[in-house]
Structure 1
């Protein structure tokens, strides 16, 4: 059984949360350039991010199995740090977290979801497309002349 919980001020598992994000994003190491911003997260910055954004964690048998951070923006709810523990991938957990994001967007009166994913991660692009996202923009990180990421959006009904 997997429970989805809101990460609030009383959440005392930021060390596990950071480990979850780093392990979930580890496959990107050596694949994407520049490296993932997950490497810049600290316990303190992660706690601050959870305070500033709307965050959820999936807990399976007492262990953190996934998370998502949501940030309201004008016209969008931004999805960031969607992470699923490698051993929990393929079980529909990402879709469950996405459904929660859609509910939050509706409650916030936001008509669309928005995310960014790295240009090199074609598998992620395909997954997000299956989940109803469309590619809407190409972006470059500071200091890069080539495209390093794409933006994808999902319009909610």
Structure 2
């Protein structure tokens, strides 16, 4: 009685199948859970953006319809209706899309809605259109800083944070 052995290619296929069955599966990478709440992030923005004594802050004349929508957004946000607040600001932006303060308010709502990508986009657009000094400038950079922190971009966040100080211009010393 002769014994038949499998052909070398068949042995190779069997060995590869056996090894494939032993392959370990790696666990998926951990999902980042932001330890800071959106409300805490917005509180940081508001704290850094507060006015400095003796700082000049120019407020332009506002379109009454846009002002009404901004007020509706503030009221809705105060009542915890973030969707309504966003809707009101989106409507205002459809009427006036180049107002840095309006864009900044929308950026802050995006931050509050836990959408750091959109928060940074609005804040950057506001920064491009707005002043490079004063409270609004600090709000832009503070929002960008918080958005980057929320995305775990530590180096980029540090860079944005460093820009905040440059927004404050010391008062002129008169003797």
TM score, norm. by length of structure 1: 0.28
TM score, norm. by length of structure 2: 0.26
The structure carrying a bigger helix percent of its residues is 2
